[in-house]
Structures are given as structure tokens and as C-alpha cells.
């Protein structure tokens, strides 16, 4: 895990006082079997750059080139590229009561189709983000994580699992695997190998892997089976989205508090640019009908 202080900079607390908080981001429509989450997105001021909640962006996020900012405990690629072996591990004790069809079936299909079209998000990706938010609203109700925060990370990290010619398949797997640059301290945090190259194909340095760009060490600690197939797969978007949401809740606590939201995104990737790019994308997604 990253040990950097998310409040680095003497102006942080003063700037935070000016933060705006989105009171009610769009919610996945309820299905007949699952309760809706109360989803709150928080956007704040970090590093002297003001990100104001509640103002829709008129340029779609995909009009901007994507390259993840350097370094981090989970994110960490500055130019992700397809590569290497899929990282899977059998599950033992399920963390959540995952429905047999997985979290991607929790959100109403009509809502997913409508919002995906409006935001130019692949339906399969949006179903995973929304399903993770719904499940976390039930199991971690004090976290208040919004689907739009997960979608923003998925967009900034890998364009929802489609970066560099990768394909997000209907079963939620991304192929070929998206593997980031070596975290060798050259413009990134230095993260020596933790998995003997099993997950990322690099036995010297760790690399971020999958649609939500987890490092092998963080995946080993927080990877979760989100599609109910009994396997924890870093390259499967249900597993990755639920794991990312859980990680953000573990780090940030109540994400409706602006400072907690900043700290959680900072733990994902400790970069001011990254934090603001995720906030910008999440704010855009919150503006969708």
C-alpha cells in the first residue's frame, strides 16, 4: 500500500474548505431483487486545482487523450500496454453474497443501456461499475461510493478495458491483458517485484494490470470474485470493479466527505493530475441523465 501522506502541501486544508460536494449522483435503477444504493460523489480541491462538483462538462471525456499518471499502490502505469499472463486465483471464503449471475446483473438493464449510450461507456463495463456500487451500498452503506467514481477510474486507467486495442468481452474479460509500464522509479513510484512475475510478467518490478490497473501486491490483498465464477481474475471487469470499490471504501471510509474522497483516489494513484482527472470524469458521469 502507498504510504504517502494524501495531505501533502501546506495549502491542502485551506483549499479543502472551498470544496464542493455533489449531494446526489445518478443511481442505477433498481431491479426487482436488489435495493438501490444511496450513491454520493465528492469532488474537491487538491494541489491548488479546483474541481467543482455539480457542473457538467460539455466535452466528453473520451475527447481527451488518456494516460495514467505515474506511480501508486493500485494504479501505476503511465502508458499501459497489452501483455502477459492473466492473473487468476481460486476463491476460498467469499467476501460477499454474490448472485450466481454476478454483480453485472444487479442494475436494471434499461438503465444501463440508457446511461451507457449517453456517456459512451461500454454497457458491459457500466454494468460492472453499477453492480459494484449496488452491492457495496448494501454491504458497506457508510462508504457511499458512486458508480460514477468507479467509471471515472476505469476510464482514466484503461478506457474501460479497451486501451491499446484490448477488447472488453461479453463475459467481462479483457483481452489481451492490459499491463502497465514497470514501476521502476523512472517517473513512477519504485515498486520491486512482489509476485515473481506471475501476475504481470515482470520478475524485477511490479506493473499495474487489468481494466482497473491493480498491482500484484494490492490484488493479492484485496482481489474479490465479482462475477461469482469462483475465480478472482484481475483481467475480469466484475472482479476488478468490486475490488476497486472495496479498496476505495477501505482507504477512504465515507466517500461523501470530500477529504476522504481525495485520500481514497490518492491511495489509488498519488498524483494531483490523476486525482483531478478522475474527479473531472466522475463529475461528467454524474451529469448524465
DSSP letters along 245-283, please?
HHHHHHHHSSTTSHHHHHHHHHHH---HHHHHHHHHHHH
Tell me the pLDDT of the chain averaged across its residues. Answer: 76
Distance CA 51, CA 56 (A): 11
In this predicted structure, the answer to whether residue 58 has a pLDDT above a threshold of 90 is no
Residues in the chain: 289
DSSP-assigned states of every residue in 137-173: HHHSTTT---HHHHHHHHHHHHTTTTGGG-EE-TTSB
Type and span of the H or E element at 221:
helix 216-222
CA distance 275 to 287: 19
pTM: 0.75
Kindly state the DSSP code that residue 68 receives in the 8-state scheme. P
**What is the structure's pLDDT at 87?**
52
What confidence tens digit (pLDDT) does each residue in 220-245 have? 999 999 999 999 999 999 999 999 99
Q: What is the per-residue pLDDT for 25? A: 55
Are 262 and 250 in contact by the 8 Å Cβ rule? The answer is no
pLDDT digit string, tens, across residues 62-112: 222 222 322 333 443 333 443 444 455 444 334 678 888 899 999 999 999
More confident residue, 4 or 65: 4
Q: Mean of the pLDDT values across residues 116-136?
A: 97
The β-bridge relationship of strands 81-82 and 88-90 is: unpaired
Task: Answer whether 235's CB lies under 8 Å from 86's CB.
Answer: yes
Quick one: pLDDT at residue 111? 96
CA 98 to chain centre: 19
- The pLDDT of residue 26 is 54
pLDDT at 194 over 60: yes
Name, in order, each residue with C-beta under 8 angstroms of 5's C-beta and a sequence gap of 6 or more: none
Amino acid at each position: 500500500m502507498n504510504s504517502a501522506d494524501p495531505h501533502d502541501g501546506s495549502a491542502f486544508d485551506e483549499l479543502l474548505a472551498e470544496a464542493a460536494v455533489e449531494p446526489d449522483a445518478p443511481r442505477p435503477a433498481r431491479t426487482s431483487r436488489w435495493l438501490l444504493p444511496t450513491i454520493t460523489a465528492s469532488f474537491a480541491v487538491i494541489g491548488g486545482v479546483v474541481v467543482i462538483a455539480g457542473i457538467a462538462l460539455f466535452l466528453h471525456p473520451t475527447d481527451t487523450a488518456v494516460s495514467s499518471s505515474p506511480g501508486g499502490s493500485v494504479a501505476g502505469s503511465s502508458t499501459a500496454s497489452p501483455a502477459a499472463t492473466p492473473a487468476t486465483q481460486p476463491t476460498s471464503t467469499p467476501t460477499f453474497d454474490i448472485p450466481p449471475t454476478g454483480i453485472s446483473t444487479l442494475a436494471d438493464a434499461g438503465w444501463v443501456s440508457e446511461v451507457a449510450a449517453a456517456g459512451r461507456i461500454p454497457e458491459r463495463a457500466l454494468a460492472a461499475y453499477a453492480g459494484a456500487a449496488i452491492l457495496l451500498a448494501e454491504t458497506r452503506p457508510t462508504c457511499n461510493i458512486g458508480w460514477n467514481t468507479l467509471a471515472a477510474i476505469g476510464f482514466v486507467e484503461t478506457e474501460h478495458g479497451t486501451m491499446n486495442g484490448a477488447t472488453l468481452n461479453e463475459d467481462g474479460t479483457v483481452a489481451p491483458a492490459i499491463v502497465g509500464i514497470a514501476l521502476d522509479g523512472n517517473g513512477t513510484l519504485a515498486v520491486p517485484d512482489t509476485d515473481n512475475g506471475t501476475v504481470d510478467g515482470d520478475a524485477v518490478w511490479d506493473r499495474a494490470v487489468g481494466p482497473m490497473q491493480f498491482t500484484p501486491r494490492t490484488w493479492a490483498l484485496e482481489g474479490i470474485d465479482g462475477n461469482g465464477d469462483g475465480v478472482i481474475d484481475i483481467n475480469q471487469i466484475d472482479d476488478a470493479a468490486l475490488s476497486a470499490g472495496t479498496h476505495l471504501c477501505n482507504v477512504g471510509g465515507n466517500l461523501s466527505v470530500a477529504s476522504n474522497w481525495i485520500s481514497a483516489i490518492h491511495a489509488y494513484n498519488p498524483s494531483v493530475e490523476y486525482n483531478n482527472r478522475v474527479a473531472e470524469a466522475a463529475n461528467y458521469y454524474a451529469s448524465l441523465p
